[in-house]
Amino acid sequence: MWLINTSNLKLEYVEHLGNFGYAVLSHTWRGDSEPSHQDFKFQSSTGDIAHERFAKIRKTCELASEQRIPYAWVDTCCIDKTSSAELTEAINSMFKWYQEAAVCYVYLSDLEEDDGRDIHDVLKLTKYKWFRRGWTLQELIASRHIQFYDRSWKRRGDKASLRQTLYAITKIDEEVLADSSLLPTIPVARRMSWAAKRQTTREEDLAYCLFGIFNVHLPLIYGEGTRAFIRLQEAIAQDNNDLSLFAWTAHDERFVGLKYRGLMAESPREFKRCSHIKSALGPAWQNDEYTITNKGIRLTATVIESEIDGMKDYLLGLQCYDGRNQLASGQHNPVFIRLVRTPTGYARHAAGLALVSPDGMASTKPLSLYVAKSISERESRTLESNLSQPFQLTLVKSLPDAYGAEFYHACPHHLWDKRSWSFMTDGSKHFTGVLRLCLWGALKQKSRMHFSNYCKCALKPKVGEEPAPPGSLVFYNDTHEWHWPHFFILLGLHDGGGSSHRPWLSVHDTSSEDGKTISTLLSHQQNRGIGVVMESIRAIYLPRRIMTWEETFTPRKEKRAHVQPGATKTDEKSSKDIMSEFGMHVRVQVMAEGDGQHPRYRLEVSVKSTGEWKVLE
């Protein structure tokens, strides 16, 4: 660390600061007119630093000498910016250097000489450059003792006496202004908000000037642009699981109109509405975990189902609240952000915040989510187009009690959103999906007919998928069993020759040869990958595509291999007659909706009863 000896105005390099008392200067630069390390080193060696360019350095050393401080540090000349290693060390150490300084002199070059007005009023009424610069933020927070000087170098106040005024201008908590060691107790979003209205000459410096405030140490890569702020957020996330890091709102005109974003902000400006964010965590709360992966940000958190613009989405709680919005009960509305399912995980939906009443919060189980870290403007537009082309499923049932029909085992699983009952096609003409439709039902009986939930499932669930479907309720007597059928419904898109794609359909009983072929192919997911499996199914059944399929079913009779425990003798003829009198009519159809630019696809399945529902005496 280079220091200026205040007695002879010479630069000296020191390894350890513990043995040296030094003062620091905090100021705003005047472009290229500030003396560099090389300039000052050369001029001080000749004893010629009378030029106006060196005025702030001379005055800093003069004040330090008067206060019996042997050394001074000025950022313009005490950092050799021609050395990338020294510049990186300086920026990563600057917060500490200001913390350990004996005093910090703040020079307000645009503060006029004392005209008799109260300094508190003067500072509040005028937007001085020093309060708008990025680098001066950490200098204000880190320095224990600050003396403020006007343009004529007349002292106008100190940090302790002006603390309330400084809070009014900067919104930095007074406790933090008094003791910078309290910084970790302040939510990340609120700390970010302090820099929301500040500016730097270099875009990257908007991130670099915040290193000390978040106790982050990173290499400098000038030229990386907004990537610097992403790296800062990644570094914060590695050591801090404060979800308020994601409590920003879109600010830049380029992003306000984007429907989808990643979890990370583009700049501190997007935190300008977070100055009142407070942590909702108490002794009974558990902090949700999140980590940075190459698939995005993985969160283990609870979500609440929601809907916006007619589209299903999810609310992710950030474990914080806005201190300004207190309810009559004394509680606060927790802050949430909206997420939407995508083919690769989740993305942020609408870059705003949602406040949810504690009374309206539905309890949900913790989920493991992968959310995109950052989404470019082009990626957002593409995602918006692709997500606007779902394959929506509808199941209409007109059945008596104890009978039912449900979808199970949607594949590919990562494209299926069970909450909105839709597949994400990603706008691809190669999309192919598989569903299993299960039918079941039981005769209302008084004593003689026995039934159970026995079923051999042709498709076993994979880890992370839905549980196995309920079996076709099996009716049996001494010699036979009756089963309701299960079906594979294949659906997809193909090139229709126009601007949009056309849907197709194929339906197969799971016990048929085609059903067994499909079941075998699906069992190869783990070894061959779901993409290869879907392409194989598509190659076989796309040529046999249809748009509508319907059929009426009664339970299938099979000879029993052994007697079920607890079975009772039943007259086979009467059982068979009654079972054949009741059936289910299934109709499946696919259709395209919307226009060529915004197509949507729909699979409609209707199941209704046929015949008379009887009671077996």
pLDDT score for 457: 32
Query: Can you list the alpha helix ranges (DSSP code H) found in 460-610?
Result: 513-522, 525-528, 530-541, 572-580
Given a cut of 90, whether residue 282 has pLDDT beyond it is no
Give the C-alpha separation, 378 to 450, whole Å. Answer: 61
Model confidence at 147, pLDDT cuts 50, 70, 90, reads very high
Residue at token pair 């529902």: 613
Given a cut of 70, whether residue 460 has pLDDT beyond it is no
Given a cut of 70, whether residue 537 has pLDDT beyond it is yes
Residue at token pair 């003069």: 62
For the chain, what is the largest distance between any 2 Cα atoms, rounded to a whole number of angstroms? 119
Q: Beta partners for 348?
A: 261, 339
Give the C-alpha separation, 489 to 603, whole Å. Answer: 10
Q: Higher-confidence residue: 139 or 333? A: 139
Model confidence at 489, pLDDT cuts 50, 70, 90, reads very high
pLDDT score for 309: 60
Given a cut of 60, whether residue 206 has pLDDT beyond it is yes
- Percent of the chain past pLDDT 90, that is, above it, reads 49
Q: Higher-confidence residue: 566 or 552? A: 552
Q: Higher-confidence residue: 312 or 385? A: 385
Given a cut of 50, whether residue 340 has pLDDT beyond it is yes
Report how far apart, in Å, the C-alpha atoms of 275 and of each of 160, 188, 209, 254 are.
22, 10, 19, 23
Which range, of 42-46, 464-468, 492-496, 501-505, averages the lowest pLDDT? 464-468
Given a cut of 80, whether residue 532 has pLDDT beyond it is yes
pLDDT score for 438: 87
Query: Can you list the alpha helix ranges (DSSP code H) found in 2-51?
Result: 37-46
Q: What does the pLDDT average to over 362-376? A: 80
What is the number of alpha carbons within 13 Å of residue 41 lying toward its C-beta? Answer: 12
The candidate with the shortest Cα–Cα distance to 590, out of 522, 490, 510, is 490
Taking only the tens place, the pLDDT of each residue in 305-335 is 776 666 677 888 888 888 887 766 667 778 8
Q: What does the pLDDT average to over 15-31? A: 85
Tokens of 122: 């003067």
Taking only the tens place, the pLDDT of each residue in 223-271 is 999 999 999 999 999 988 899 999 999 876 677 778 899 999 999 999 9
pLDDT score for 117: 79
Q: What does the pLDDT average to over 343-369? A: 72
Model confidence at 61, pLDDT cuts 50, 70, 90, reads very high
Given a cut of 60, whether residue 578 has pLDDT beyond it is no
Indicate the average pLDDT of the chain: 83
Which range, of 248-257, 285-294, 408-417, 465-474, averages the lowest pLDDT? 465-474
Distance of CA 561 to the CA centre of its chain: 55
Q: Which residues, other chains included, contact 517 with Cβ-Cβ below 8 Å and sequence gap of 6+?
A: 540
Q: Beta partners for 548?
A: 589
Length of the chain: 617
Model confidence at 492, pLDDT cuts 50, 70, 90, reads very high
pLDDT score for 328: 67
- Residue 168: CB atoms within 10 A of its CB come to 12
Which range, of 91-100, 183-192, 448-457, 502-511, averages the lowest pLDDT? 448-457
Given a cut of 60, whether residue 467 has pLDDT beyond it is no
- Residue 162: CB atoms within 10 A of its CB come to 19
Given a cut of 70, whether residue 176 has pLDDT beyond it is yes
Taking only the tens place, the pLDDT of each residue in 150-167 is 999 999 999 999 999 999
Give the C-alpha separation, 236 to 215, whole Å. Answer: 8
Do the beta carbons of residue 299 and residue 372 sit within 8 Å?
no
Residue at token pair 């992403």: 230
Model confidence at 572, pLDDT cuts 50, 70, 90, reads very low
- Percent of the chain past pLDDT 70, that is, above it, reads 81
Given a cut of 60, whether residue 285 has pLDDT beyond it is no
Taking only the tens place, the pLDDT of each residue in 24-46 is 999 998 877 788 898 888 887 67
pLDDT score for 573: 43
pLDDT score for 593: 86
pTM given for the model: 0.81
Q: What does the pLDDT average to over 340-350? A: 87
